Structure 1
Amino acid sequence: MRSAEIMLAPSRHHHLAIPFLAVPRPRATLVRAITVALILAAACSAQAQETPTAESAGDATTLDSVTVTGSRIRRVDTETANPVTTIGREAIEATGKATLGDLIQELPAIAGNATNPNVNNGGGTGASAVSLRGLGEKRTLVLVNGVRLAYNDINSIPAAMVERVEVLGDGASAVYGSDAIGGVVNFILRDRFEGVQASADFGQTSRGDGSRRNYSLTAGHAWDRASVVGGVSYHKIDEVSAAQRAFSKDALNLVNGEAVRQGSSATPFGTISFNDGSAEAAALAASAGCSRVTLDSATGSGPTDRGDYHCYDATADSFNYQPFNLLQTPQERTNAFVLGSFRLTDNLEAYGNAYFTKTHSASIIAPVPIFAIGDNFLVSENSYYNPFGINFGADRATGTTYNTFNTRLVSLGNRQYEYNTYNLQTNAGLRGGFGDSSWQWDANFNYGQVRQKSINNGFLNYAAFNQAVGPSFLDSDGVVKCGAAGAVIAGCTPIDIFNTNDPATVEALKAMVVNPISTSTYTVKQFEANANGNLFDLPAGTVNLAVGLSYRKESTSTKTDDLAVADLEGLCGVVEFCTTVLNGSFNVKEAYAETLIPLLADKPFAHALNLSIGTRFSDYDSVGSTTNSKLALEWRPIENLLLRGTVSEVFRAPNINELYAGIGGDAASAIDPCNGYTGGNDVACANVPTDGSYQQADPQVSGRTSGALVAGYDGLKPETGKSYDFGVVYDPKWLEGLSLSADVWRINLVDTIATVSAQTVLNQCYANSASAFCPLIHRNGNGTIYYIGEPTVNLGQLWTKGVDFGANYRLPDTRWGSFNASLNGTYVARYDINPDPTDPGTVVIHSAGKYTYSYGNFPRIRALGTLTWKQGPWSAAWRIRYVGHTSIGSTDARQNLSADSALPAVERGIGSYAYHNLQGGYDFSDWHTRVDVGVDNLGDKQPPLFYNNNANNGNTDVTTYDVLGRYWWARVTVTF
């Protein structure tokens, strides 16, 4: 296939389709459409057509039939109704990418905010996910040789075992079941390899950091009846600190149109607000000349007094956490794999493959912050070290909140999340034929297990800390003790939380450090039996059928230290680290059938006309049953022009996390719509002063995520929808080597399963005080946000549509060598989310051409262009990745998506980006050695500033833009 020669070549079978018109009753309409199609097929079969001659039929049978991702039917023609993009092994190697994630996430069809190793805050597992159409990794199905990947981390797949990657940009629930809404990524493995191949790869940024090392060894042999391929690989990349880049070294916020260095209000010197409404607090504010103060940084050891404080200035006094964070998280990965087959008889073959991946990775963020109200600490008015004589924080027992007190324990060092992930996947089966017939069958068993152990360093024991900041007194022996005279708390050492630099306080805090450990295990077991072959002949060709049955069971369990288990409010015995205990399982039984009906062939304006019909029944013990079907039409009016259309029903069943997850903490970025509140919605802005003085102290708020069952929502069901495609592929005879495509797609979803974001909760309740989101907002007595519930529910609708376009041209060979040029791109025309269609006051979020924290980045245009050259032992490639114009914020004030933290309805434009990557190589054939060198981001482009009030990592969108700058790499490959 031509596409295997170059990155993303849109060769004949790799295009997507143009959507049908909207229909009001999708399921009933699709049933009617299938009925009409069957009638049409019968009518066409009755027409008198010439039967292919024995000679022509014999010629056809000499061609190999194959299955292409998106269908179970074996066909000679690889150009079908399925819009598939193929990336061949040669193209994979030419990119110089260290991982499959680096490669796949550059595809133009990828959008949104799928995770990758550049995600530090909220990442660190070393994983890369795929988000086709920006629908999220949960709506993209990842396969290995057509079998579900147990762990949606494509970095865990050893790159050395991959022959090619097929990316289907079409909904495929009728073929593969749940999750295949945005599309399918299928990694096809190297089942044949002769010899031994060793490779070493090195890379580093032009600034001397971000080093990578890759080593791989692959060996294989094929006999008459058997073949085996195996290998090992090792991959390591070093961390890159956010302090090493100008755009990320400071926590920046856009305030009143100006970039301001403004970090967290949890500072090493404490941020204190006199805001509980009491007379004592009001008097202290009047005495200080402001309602918010912080400790002078010059204060040394010993108790503080009121004269040691000055009025808090966010620009000067906030904590810059950025230098503690990472732009690239470290990871070390070891892979081992083996693939083999053995032909037992002429009609029976046994096969199997297995791979194991161990990944050690980490994320590092700033030292643990203390938010006395959010973390439910009560800094007692009776503490010996309290110079103000009033309570701060919250009383967990009574739920009473007092004045705000935030601090940060820098003496304890950074918080570090270390992950050890072990991933094993095996697939074994038998396949064969039924005598001399066209029918083939396959039965296989797939087993996958992922075990992840996280060690979380730099946290505090809640109970010990809460006692230490409680009542304390100077005893008669001159020692400060916890409790009160005559009621000393044994084993407790009081601390001066108002001066965390005090040596005695530092020593006491270090004694409270805990490093909780959590281990999660996920297991999938699946059995499949498939068969496909010819049914009968029609005048236009042979009717093919594929059928199959499958059973899959998924289960998961989590173990964690007792201290870290979250209660129903997301609180636990560890400060700023509470984890959910997840245990559960479900199974699904499925059956499918797919048929290809040739309607016309070799007729005027009908060189070929084929109809495909498929349906799949899925029965989940967790959420019930569903049936999803597809209808596709391929029409070639002339031999080199293909028109095709597909309409598919799609669905996604809730996964284990969505069903069974317990309460978990979330440090979400959200802008409070009640800033400057003067009245109007006392539900959304409960307890907020109406004099316009209220201003959110920090864009980071406390959230409480939860699975559906824990949230009390036991009616979770699959999300459903329609995928429409219509496209044209043209391979002109008048210009050999050229292939063009233009494809339009549309996806509509209802009852979307989502963890509602804190920002969505705030926006929807502020827009409508009767919204179902309002009870999720929990405010303190002074109006500040305590926490926001973020449950998983069926609640939304989503509509997206766009156009894919592609061109590939293999130029005629010249004396200057062989050239190949390709261009592939995606235009997003619409991406709308209705968080709650049952609410007439809901605010629809329009994301096309925009970036939002909740949904990610959706530039209107993304593209990837490649020019390759080869002459003799020399080769070179020039790749251009284009990210089009996007914007942050919205001028629609109802969406509360302002790019400015102080001004409403501000929209900022972000210009387009083009990254240039070069590669060159030479084959030393006498030494069986190839050397490749390359540079990514040749122009050293730095990412655009999105600012901390809009993005959670590095002041930018780390899932879309390059954050490391110019990157040099070299690889040596020896084959023998």
Structure 2
Amino acid sequence: MFNPSLPRAVRLALSGQTVGVGAVLLSSIAAPALAQQPAPAETDKLETIVVTGSRIRRVDLETASPVFVIDKGQIEKTGKLTVGDLLQSTPAIAGGATATNGAVNNGGGTGAATIDLRGLGTARTLILVNGRRLAGPAPDVNAIPINLIERVEVLKDGASAIYGSDAIGGVVNFILRKDYQGIEFAVDYGIADKDDGQRTGVTMTMGHTSDKGSIMIGLNYHDQELVAARNRDFSKDALYLSGGEIAASGSSRTPRGRIYLPDDLLAQVGCAPGTSVTRKPGAGGGALSDYKCYDGTVDSYNFQAVGNLELTPQERGSMFVVGNYRLSDSVEAYVEAFHNKTRAAYAIAPLPFDARSDNVLISRDSVYNPFGIDFGRSGDNDSGNSFFLRLEAVGNRRASTAVSTDQINVGLRGGFGATSWQWDANFTYGHFSQNRLFNGYIFQPTLTNAVGPSFIDANGVARCGTPDAPITGCIPVNVFNPSETPEGFRALEAPYRTSLSYIQREGEVNANGELFELPAGAVSLAVGASYRKEYQNFSPDFLATALPPDYTNCLLAQDACTSAVVGSFDVKEFYGEAFIPILRDVAFAKTLNVTIGSRYSDYSTFGDATNSKFGLEWRPIDDVLVRGTIAEVFRAPTISNLFSAPASNSPTFRDPCEGLTTPVGVNANIDRACQFVPRDGSFGGPPNGQTTGLVQGNPNLKPEEGKAFTWGVVYDPSWLEGLSTSVDVWRFALNDNISALDVNTVALQCYTSGNLCEYIHRFESDGQVFYIDQPTLNLGRLDAKGMDFSIKYRTPETAIGTFRIGLDATYTAQFNQLIYDNEGNPSGTIYAAGQFNRQLGNYARWRALGTLNWELGNIDASWTTRYIHGFDLGSLRPDGDSADGELPNVVVPYGATTYHNLQVGYTVEPINARVELGVDNVFDKQPAILFQNNVTNGNTDPVTFDTVGRYYWARFSVKF
């Protein structure tokens, strides 16, 4: 299998230059070569290798599938302490994954990081550790100790035929270090330019290698402090684009309340019909004269300044062991195991209370109610009067999270006599557990009593209930002026907990080797079988469990309500992959190879699926490789997709019925979409820009299915040693997409086409949305296409040093998500390429990563640039999102963003130590302002942009 075109590629790899398509994963050291010395005639043969994207051992580093590699040296030069931070700059990542680690506060705060290749969704990116699945409902790459990683291989191609479900957008394979000899110790310190976000880190790695085997163990500790939103100019105020104006505004849930009154009471306060009132600053709230007309420009609540975070605190510790032992000349035992424990937290503004949505009726007979009318609702008893309040009296909402991740893989591997065949049998156990404690919430039944009828007893003390039926142990609270009843609000506080456990077990047997010789080379085959079982149990305590009949409320405020997820599945799989050399050393074909593979999967939940792949490699000349793949891909529904009980959320929402003046009977679609909405133009939609969505699993889901295509050219010119370039075009077409319907999609489709209207539920009294069902369905098609470009060059050694230059870029030409109604009819399309989409994330057309490395003796330096192309916020299409919270079809264009990172290192040879200094975001580039009416975290997209600013770091390491 010797390939005359390979030595240059090998020299590139050994020189440390990544050629953009793969790096070497050495085959098992228990190969037959352990049992015998090679004959003299075979001493110049190259050892076969395995590259992510195939299970065939070959001598070629370049294959039909494009692979992006980050090696250990590059990892160290970034100064990153977590994998999520490390991978954020990968150009192939797009969309809305939490790959920015702790920068996602509202909706994050667990310390986790997930990966979203091509923007196809985190569930469509497969995460592997040494070729085996990382356990977890949404695998957290931060659980992998960074000092355990030898390199990261990012396969940018569909690989369901090779690895099974989820390998649609690609595969991220973390290759672990092994055969380490010695002790390595490193300390790290970093701090932001604004003297916050301090981090400290310590790692230690120890290893010993002998003729019989090796063992490596390591420890890792990382502590990251928070960055408050109020300490950054872009996030200290809640910024809104509304009515064509940018304003520092906030939420209508304010500490002084926002109260909707009948027109006769509004007139007594001096306010126009249909408006609302709020308590005057400093007023007691016991009389109508204490209230004024609500003015959003001055009375709204700036939640950004009171506790929101731009970087969440987290503390992480991990340990690992990797070892192998030769039981005989041809059999080896091995183990790969790691344990990670993370503690993280988030904090957001105090609880926003909405009497109607929270199913609480504020009684007209409360001693603190100056208006003499009911507010809110209790079950079907809807007063028709809305009451909003920010519960500062119970403090910020906050959560602390403890996560534990354990994964162990044990196995045997070896060879079949003197043949080329090798085998591997292993068992993998993964356990992910997460326990969360939430504070800043109130017990709803007690609150209902505390704002219900009350009276003043003979001692002049306020009591709950009536004189004939007092409620024992209840303290009335004044929601119209909470500062008057602090003890009552403290008595309402009710922390709650949730727990999540995920267990994965997998047994696998593999074999690979050569079948027979053809004129162009040996035909090779890889075969294997596996059995995997996954179990998930998410359990909220009884306080936070959503209650029937509508499941939008629980015993706490609606904000906290969720539901249990309990379920499991098992899958049996068989695969085969063949490498067939067709031509070799003929005119216009130095080599022509074909790879075919297929995998059969039998799931206990939906049945079976078969996915195949075809790959072509053609070298017309030594310097040029033309490659292409056609792959069937699929994603099995997850346990959450299948078994989630109904649970509410609070998505960003713009009601298409705002300002409605169309009379009833003119348009049937509008009549259905806007049932109960006033038709005089006064309807303003949700006061806080959010609504209630109700998500539920679906046990009848089918798997997603589709195809992935790549075509590319790799050029390694012999006339310029050290240069490698590649261009790859990619396309994905997916059907039967599994997703919960977006609330905006539901409302717009009903309004424009009359579809999905049955999912919208409005209050009869004023037409405001009560909740919108978000069923999980196989309703959609996704089409994405684009191009990857890579160029790497390593200069010869010169008097001024050696330089390595690299550029990797991804262009997204199309990202269209076709939406279907519940009868399977097309009902709209999201065109996301070149846009920030509030549902899907950021799809800037170009993303690039440029590197310049310099080495001279003991000194080295690097300059890294990350480029994010300009994009649009909003759409001109009638069914598209508007960037404006009030005006339709508003589009805001944004320019490109470029981040620059610098690093310099010095090796102190006498003590075998190394010192590194670095600055991230050298020019303190600020993130794009996307406005709170489009995002939920600090006016921007923390998944795409840096929210911390200029950051300094230093590292000292020593080896013994």
TM-score, normalised by the number of residues in structure 1: 0.92
Find the aligned partners of 2:361 and 2:44 in 1 and give their Cα distance: 81
Task: Show the counterpart of 1:630.
Answer: 613
* 1:663-682 mapped onto 2 (5 Å cutoff): 663-679=646-662, 680=667, 681-682=670-671
Task: Show the counterpart of 1:32.
Answer: none
1:564 to 525, 534, 544: 544
Find the aligned partners of 1:619 and 1:61 in 2 and give their Cα distance: 44
Task: Show the counterpart of 2:945.
Answer: 961
Task: Show the counterpart of 2:888.
Answer: 904
**TM-fit CA distance, 1:136:** 1.2
State the identity %. 46
Q: Return closer, same or farther for 1:192/1:698 CA change in 2, 3 Å cut-off.
A: farther
Task: Show the counterpart of 2:509.
Answer: 529
Task: Show the counterpart of 2:853.
Answer: 868
Task: Show the counterpart of 1:850.
Answer: 835
* 1:324-723 mapped onto 2 (5 Å cutoff): 324-396=307-379, 398-502=380-484, 505-568=485-548, 569-575=551-557, 576-679=559-662, 680=667, 681-709=670-698, 714-723=699-708
Find the aligned partners of 1:88 and 1:555 in 2 and give their Cα distance: 34
Does the 8 Å contact 1:667/1:700 carry over to 2?
A: no
User: Which amino acid is 2:351 matched to?
Assistant: V
Find the aligned partners of 1:780 and 1:884 in 2 and give their Cα distance: 46
**TM-fit CA distance, 1:630:** 0.6
Find the aligned partners of 1:780 and 1:964 in 2 and give their Cα distance: 46
1:171 aligns with 2:158: yes
Find the aligned partners of 2:367 and 2:15 in 1 and give their Cα distance: 72
1:321 to 292, 303, 308: 303
**TM-fit CA distance, 1:479:** 2.5
Which region of structure 1 is more displaced relative to structure 2, 309-318 or 680-689? 680-689
* 1:103-118 mapped onto 2 (5 Å cutoff): 103-115=86-98, 116-118=101-103
**TM-fit CA distance, 1:13:** 4.4
1:753 aligns with 2:735: no
Q: Secondary structure at the match of 1:596?
A: strand
Does the 8 Å contact 2:672/2:757 carry over to 1?
A: no
Q: Return closer, same or farther for 1:420/1:403 CA change in 2, 3 Å cut-off.
A: same
Find the aligned partners of 1:720 and 1:540 in 2 and give their Cα distance: 35
Does the 8 Å contact 2:17/2:794 carry over to 1?
A: no
Find the aligned partners of 1:861 and 1:415 in 2 and give their Cα distance: 38
User: Which amino acid is 2:690 matched to?
Assistant: V
1:219 aligns with 2:206: yes
User: Which amino acid is 1:144 matched to?
Assistant: V
Larger relative contact order (CA 8 Å, sep ≥ 6): 1
User: Which amino acid is 1:690 matched to?
Assistant: R
Per-residue deviation, residues 1-54 of structure 1 (Å, max 9, x unmatched): 677689994345489xxxxxxxxxxxxxxxxxxxxxxxxxxxxxxxxxxxxxxx
Does the 8 Å contact 1:13/1:84 carry over to 2?
A: yes
Does the 8 Å contact 2:260/2:387 carry over to 1?
A: yes
**TM-fit CA distance, 1:557:** 1.3
2:901 to 910, 917, 927: 917
Q: Secondary structure at the match of 2:76?
A: helix
Structure 1 segments unaligned to the other structure (5+ residues): 16-54, 275-280
Find the aligned partners of 1:225 and 1:609 in 2 and give their Cα distance: 40
Per-residue deviation, residues 877-902 of structure 1 (Å, max 9, x unmatched): 0001000011100011222x111112
Find the aligned partners of 2:838 and 2:17 in 1 and give their Cα distance: 29
Does the 8 Å contact 1:590/1:616 carry over to 2?
A: yes
Task: Show the counterpart of 1:893.
Answer: 878
Which region of structure 1 is more displaced relative to structure 2, 673-682 or 533-542? 673-682
Find the aligned partners of 1:817 and 1:656 in 2 and give their Cα distance: 54
Per-residue deviation, residues 468-526 of structure 1 (Å, max 9, x unmatched): 11112233442322222312222222111111121xx2110101101101111110000
Find the aligned partners of 1:638 and 1:434 in 2 and give their Cα distance: 36
Q: Secondary structure at the match of 2:475?
A: coil
Equivalent residue pairs, number: 921
Per-residue deviation, residues 904-945 of structure 1 (Å, max 9, x unmatched): 101001110111100000000101110000101100111111
Does the 8 Å contact 2:94/2:843 carry over to 1?
A: yes
**TM-fit CA distance, 1:105:** 1.6
Per-residue deviation, residues 519-545 of structure 1 (Å, max 9, x unmatched): 111100000000001111111111101
Find the aligned partners of 1:645 and 1:808 in 2 and give their Cα distance: 21
Per-residue deviation, residues 333-357 of structure 1 (Å, max 9, x unmatched): 0000000000101110000111000
Q: Return closer, same or farther for 1:94/1:855 CA change in 2, 3 Å cut-off.
A: same
Which region of structure 1 is more displaced relative to structure 2, 552-561 or 308-317? 552-561
1:797 aligns with 2:806: no
Q: Secondary structure at the match of 2:372?
A: coil
Does the 8 Å contact 1:6/1:87 carry over to 2?
A: no
Does the 8 Å contact 2:12/2:722 carry over to 1?
A: no
Q: Secondary structure at the match of 2:49?
A: coil
Find the aligned partners of 2:440 and 2:478 in 1 and give their Cα distance: 19
Task: Show the counterpart of 1:70.
Answer: 53
* 1:236-385 mapped onto 2 (5 Å cutoff): 236-274=223-261, 281-288=262-269, 289-290=271-272, 291-301=274-284, 304-323=286-305, 324-385=307-368
Does the 8 Å contact 2:286/2:368 carry over to 1?
A: yes
Q: Return closer, same or farther for 1:214/1:7 CA change in 2, 3 Å cut-off.
A: farther
Does the 8 Å contact 2:435/2:497 carry over to 1?
A: yes
1:132 to 117, 123, 129: 117
User: Which amino acid is 1:542 matched to?
Assistant: A
TM-score, normalised by the number of residues in structure 2: 0.94
User: Which amino acid is 1:495 matched to?
Assistant: V
Structure 2 segments unaligned to the other structure (5+ residues): 1-9, 25-37
1:808 aligns with 2:792: yes
**TM-fit CA distance, 1:841:** 6.4
CA RMSD of aligned residues (A): 1.8
User: Which amino acid is 2:88 matched to?
Assistant: Q
User: Which amino acid is 2:19 matched to?
Assistant: P
Does the 8 Å contact 2:256/2:281 carry over to 1?
A: no
Does the 8 Å contact 1:811/1:820 carry over to 2?
A: yes
Q: Secondary structure at the match of 1:629?
A: strand
1:824 to 785, 790, 808: 808
**TM-fit CA distance, 1:687:** 1.0
Per-residue deviation, residues 859-890 of structure 1 (Å, max 9, x unmatched): 01000000000011000000010000111000
Task: Show the counterpart of 2:31.
Answer: none
Q: Any runs of at least 4 consecutive aligned residues in structure 1 with deviations exceeding 6 A, and if so which?
A: 2-8
Find the aligned partners of 1:841 and 1:752 in 2 and give their Cα distance: 13
Find the aligned partners of 2:400 and 2:956 in 1 and give their Cα distance: 32
Does the 8 Å contact 1:130/1:137 carry over to 2?
A: yes
**TM-fit CA distance, 1:968:** 0.5
Per-residue deviation, residues 188-213 of structure 1 (Å, max 9, x unmatched): 00011110000001001111111110
User: Which amino acid is 1:782 matched to?
Assistant: D
Find the aligned partners of 2:706 and 2:544 in 1 and give their Cα distance: 39
**TM-fit CA distance, 1:758:** 1.7
**TM-fit CA distance, 1:689:** 0.6
Q: Return closer, same or farther for 1:371/1:348 CA change in 2, 3 Å cut-off.
A: same
User: Which amino acid is 1:286 matched to?
Assistant: A
Q: Secondary structure at the match of 2:268?
A: helix
Q: Return closer, same or farther for 1:89/1:841 CA change in 2, 3 Å cut-off.
A: closer
**TM-fit CA distance, 1:561:** 2.2
